[in-house]
Amino acid sequence: MKLILFLITILFLIINEVHGSDPDKIDDVLKEIQSLRLEIQRSTASFLLIAEQFELDMDTDEITDDLYIRIVSRDAVIRESDLLTSTILAVTYTDEEYLVSEERDDWFRISMRDGRPGWIHKDDVQITGLNGRVRKIGKNPLSADLEVRELFDAIYNDISKKNVNAINLFKDFDDTYHSIISSGNNADENLFGEYQSEKEKIIISYAYATHYYKKLSPVQQVAVSDKQPVHFNGTLSASLGSSSYEAAGKETATSRAFHLAGNVIINPQTNVNVNLNHNLDVVQTPYTANNVNLHLFHNRSEVTRIRANLNYNSYNDEQFRRNNFKNVGAGFNLEHELRSDIRFFSDIQATSKSYEAEGGNEFQGAGFNSGLMYHGQNKQADFGIRGRIQSSDISFLDYTRINPVARLRLLTKNGSFTLRGEGEQLIYAREAEGNNHYLGIADLEWIQSARVSTLRFMIRQYPNNPDFDQMRFRFQNQWRQFSVGNFRRTSVSVQYVYHTGEGTRLSDYLDVRADRSIVNDRMFFDLNLFGRYWDDKDRLHRIDFFSRFGYKFQKFEIGPVIGAQFLLDPDDITIERNGNSLRAGLEGRVHTVIQKASVYGTFRYQRSYVYSNEISIDTRTGLITEGELKTRMPATIQFSSGILIPLGEFFLLRADLSYYNIDLDVTEAISINPVDSRSGMRFTGGIQYRFDQLQFRR
């Protein structure tokens, strides 16, 4: 009955959302302008990269415009790739700005403070526009041949044609907008503001392309050079310090870190991204880690794109040899344009992980992902098959996984509809065969202006363990609002999990979640609510609550943190129950510039009130018996700070200090693993050098 009511509710929400407002023609024109602006900016970026390979007529200081983004989410992180499941490289601070080097779907590729590339999701940032900077342009030797010059001319001609199309769209927008005004109707001022912003970006991009194109000599005077210089941009950093960790005993080590990151530009179509790391530090025990990552990028007239990568990392624990491992990986990616609107893609990644001690979780495997992408004017479609084949002596690491995926997206006047389907077959070896399963997912997403709604149906079957068979229904609504200095996001989701196996002892449940975030120039506010209702009357329902809020004073943020977790029995509602907890604290952040030095810091103090039952252990049988309800009051204090001091144009001094202390208040009366407290401190100082277009003759 609950399942039927849930489905009826979802159907009502879908019908209510689908009957949206009928947008005007002005929305269509603006979306065309936005799409054209993105194409012009991408072409201009390629154009300016090639322009640097040609001789300019004079030494001069030129102003170049780069696209910057500003962090608006307090939970924003920088990831290794454009996937939510990829490795987190760094945690960001609100109001930080980063330079954008690439835009891909819902992600921006940025340059981090240490020069490494990373990816950040668009939901966490706000585009701040074009920031000017001064760059020295001097007389450089000709390094491009006639073929490159022809490509250069073709790109500029393409930019010119798109600029003409943009001018026509400007006229259409102006005529439509003034027609609305003259008819006495109200026009959306926000739309007009967006239009002015898009128009300005197109004008600037075309102006710079024309500016550099006019500086070139006639094509017949372009000389051919057999030896082109290789350029290198990047950073080299080194830091030394001390790290310590204390729990049952104290571990201290002299920490050190060396890092080299940059791009080797072989020619306008080919570059190699280099990332080398060496770290000695303490996390519970002293360890040494080494990482080498090489990525080759090659584009051929925008028709074929080739990427290759080679990765190596090692980890050496000075106390526990069983943790030591080495990991080697290599991959190849190919994208080829079959037609102007259809591209083929294929990706293969191979990895091998080995441990120094016997019995480690070693494996060798290869993953693949191939398919077709269609991007039409009003339709987009993707189809592919991805998977992984992995072998290991450990049964749960020895498996074969196949995932066919298909997606269809229809662009509407004020948003889009997306239908996505995914399947999965996961087959384990030997003892882990009980986890074999088949998975099917169907997603429907519709976007209208600032609102994103998603409906998901998922079914999972375990052929060797049918008691775990289940279906999931999930509906989510999200609203986002962006403006200068203001960010708001609200999200509400409902999920029902229904176990289909006959005679299963697993209970069905309903999850409800609500999140609210507000960030502006004066304050910040985050609220997270989660509840789980079980169909099984013998299970305790759950409610989680967390919030942080406060005020912003120039570059300072400060405010309280509160939270709670309650396990509830409808027939006996009480706070004094094993597992219930309350917590409160205070946190603050600062990120400011004093003279030329950048100073940043964070702190958090949190105190909890937790209910826990005493336990007694029968040493003969190992049985644990719960006793009287007790309370404990764990506390946490965290502090970190740092300073960046530029020395001239290429050097940067850096110092960082961090400390934490966690008083768990876990005694022998309530745990078989009592721990009084844990603490750690780390201090490092170092220097960074930035390479700016180093040239090497071949």
pLDDT tens-place string over residues 227-253: 566 777 788 899 999 988 887 677 777
Least confident of 330-339, 343-352, 384-393, 676-685: 676-685
pTM: 0.67
Rounded to an integer, what distance in angstroms lies between the CA atom of residue 632 and that of residue 666? 8
Task: List, in sequence order, every beta strand (DSSP E) within 412-522.
Answer: 415-428, 437-448, 451-461, 470-483, 486-499, 509-520
Q: How confident is residue 178, by pLDDT bands cut at 50, 70 and 90?
A: low
For residues 96 and 186, which has the higher predicted lDDT (pLDDT)? 96
Q: Which strands sit side by side in the sheet containing 107-111, from one edge to the other?
A: 88-91, 77-79, 117-121, 107-111, 97-104, 60-71, 125-137
For residues 697 and 241, which has the higher predicted lDDT (pLDDT)? 241
Is residue 329 in some structural domain? no
**DSSP designation for 430:** G
Mean pLDDT along residues 479-492? 80
**DSSP designation for 650:** T
Give 42-96 pLDDT, tens digit per residue. Answer: 788 777 766 655 543 333 333 334 567 777 676 688 887 766 656 677 777 666 7
Query: What local confidence, expressed as pLDDT, does residue 664 receive?
Result: 80
Mean pLDDT along residues 536-554? 90
Q: How far is CA 258 from the centre of its chain?
A: 25
Do 100 and 112 form a contact (C-beta atoms < 8 A)?
A: no
Which of 128-142, 158-172, 577-591 is the most confident on average? 577-591
Residue 157 has phi, psi (to 5 degrees) of -65, -40
Query: What local confidence, expressed as pLDDT, does residue 457 receive?
Result: 97
Rounded to an integer, what distance in angstroms lies between the CA atom of residue 320 and that of residue 318? 6
Do 427 and 436 form a contact (C-beta atoms < 8 A)?
A: yes
C-alpha closest to that of 70 among 487, 643, 522: 487
**DSSP designation for 323:** G
Query: What local confidence, expressed as pLDDT, does residue 439 receive?
Result: 96
* Start-to-end Cα distance in the chain: 75
Query: What local confidence, expressed as pLDDT, does residue 195 receive?
Result: 79
Is residue 261 in some structural domain? no
Least confident of 161-170, 416-425, 434-443: 161-170
Is residue 264 in some structural domain? no
pLDDT at 301 over 70: no
- What angle (nearest 5°) sits at the alpha carbon of residue 150, between those of residues 146 and 156? 145
Is residue 437 in some structural domain? no
Query: What local confidence, expressed as pLDDT, does residue 371 receive?
Result: 95
3-state SS, residue 180: helix
Domains in the chain, number: 1
Is residue 53 in some structural domain? yes
pLDDT at 126 over 80: no
Q: How confident is residue 179, by pLDDT bands cut at 50, 70 and 90?
A: low
Which of 106-115, 404-413, 618-627 is the most confident on average? 404-413
For residues 124 and 12, which has the higher predicted lDDT (pLDDT)? 124
pLDDT at 168 over 80: no
Rounded to an integer, what distance in angstroms lies between the CA atom of residue 258 and that of residue 354? 24
Do 198 and 37 form a contact (C-beta atoms < 8 A)?
A: yes
Rounded to an integer, what distance in angstroms lies between the CA atom of residue 52 and that of residue 368? 37
Q: What is the CATH number of the domain that holds 108?
A: 2.30.30.40
Residue 531 has phi, psi (to 5 degrees) of -140, 145
Mean pLDDT along residues 495-513? 89
Q: Which amino acid is at 460?
A: R
Is residue 590 in some structural domain? no
Give 336-362 pLDDT, tens digit per residue. Answer: 989 888 999 999 999 999 998 888 889
Query: What local confidence, expressed as pLDDT, does residue 563 receive?
Result: 95
Q: How confident is residue 221, by pLDDT bands cut at 50, 70 and 90?
A: very low
Share of the chain above pLDDT 70, in %: 79
Query: What local confidence, expressed as pLDDT, does residue 228 receive?
Result: 60
Is residue 18 in some structural domain? no
**Average pLDDT score over the chain:** 80
pLDDT at 538 over 90: no
Query: What local confidence, expressed as pLDDT, does residue 648 receive?
Result: 81
Q: How confident is residue 597, by pLDDT bands cut at 50, 70 and 90?
A: confident
Do 289 and 312 form a contact (C-beta atoms < 8 A)?
A: no
With the C-alpha atoms ordered 89, 90, 91, 94, is the resulting torsion angle positive or negative?
Answer: negative
Rounded to an integer, what distance in angstroms lies between the CA atom of residue 218 and that of residue 150? 12
The structure tokens 């390094």 sit at 143
Give 88-97 pLDDT, tens digit per residue. Answer: 777 776 667 7
Query: What local confidence, expressed as pLDDT, does residue 6 receive?
Result: 47
Residue 463 has phi, psi (to 5 degrees) of -65, -30
Is residue 246 in some structural domain? no
Mean pLDDT along residues 97-117? 74
For residues 430 and 309, which has the higher predicted lDDT (pLDDT)? 309
Q: Residue 187 half-sphere exposure, CB side, CA atoms within 13 Å?
A: 21
Query: What local confidence, expressed as pLDDT, does residue 53 receive?
Result: 55
Q: How confident is residue 481, by pLDDT bands cut at 50, 70 and 90?
A: confident
Query: What local confidence, expressed as pLDDT, does residue 37 receive?
Result: 84
User: In DSSP terms, which residues pair with 61 in a beta bridge?
Assistant: 136
Q: Is 234 left (phi over 0), alpha (psi -120 to 50) or beta?
A: left
Share of the chain above pLDDT 90, in %: 35
Range of the domain at 140: 25-221
Query: What local confidence, expressed as pLDDT, does residue 302 receive?
Result: 65
